[in-house]
Amino acid sequence: MTVSRDQLFQTSKPKTLTHNSAVFGGEIKYHLCTVGEKGRARKIATEPEGLNNEILEAALMILCLEEPKLTELDLEAMKALPAGEVATIAGLILGKSPKA
């Protein structure tokens, strides 16, 4: 069955998903990134030299983590987090399967 236009644009709260982070020692709750959130993350991550992919990943976490809840004020502190785990979580937020 094909999805109708109305079904596609139904406004509902995104489903909360979880990731058990061995790096951070617990469960992280997030939702899949919306088109609007992805655009906001790109704006946050755009520097004079261009798009900074590491900041983009951190910005996705800021916008899409539900627990722990972060804000843009946390961006500077996030630069000290393990890059691999931030990349893993950002990938999950974008709907990519975790690497085995």
Burial class (CB in 10 A: 0-12, 13-18, 19+), 74: middle
Q: How many domains does the chain divide into?
A: 1
Q: In this model, does residue 75 exceed pLDDT 80?
A: yes
Supply the range of the domain harboring residue 39.
18-93
Residue 76 included in any domain = yes
Residue 4 included in any domain = no
Residue 27 included in any domain = yes
- CB-side neighbour CA atoms (13 Å) of 2: 2
Residue 53 included in any domain = yes
Q: By the 8 A CB rule, do 30 and 96 touch?
A: no
Instruction: Kindly report, residue by residue over 20-72, the tens digit of the pLDDT.
Output: 998 899 999 999 999 999 999 999 999 999 999 999 999 999 999 999 999 99
- Prediction pTM value: 0.84
Q: In this model, does residue 100 exceed pLDDT 60?
A: no
Q: Which residue has the higher pLDDT, 51 or 5?
A: 51
- The crossing angle, in degrees rounded to 10, of helices 35-45 and 53-64 is 140
Residue 89 included in any domain = yes
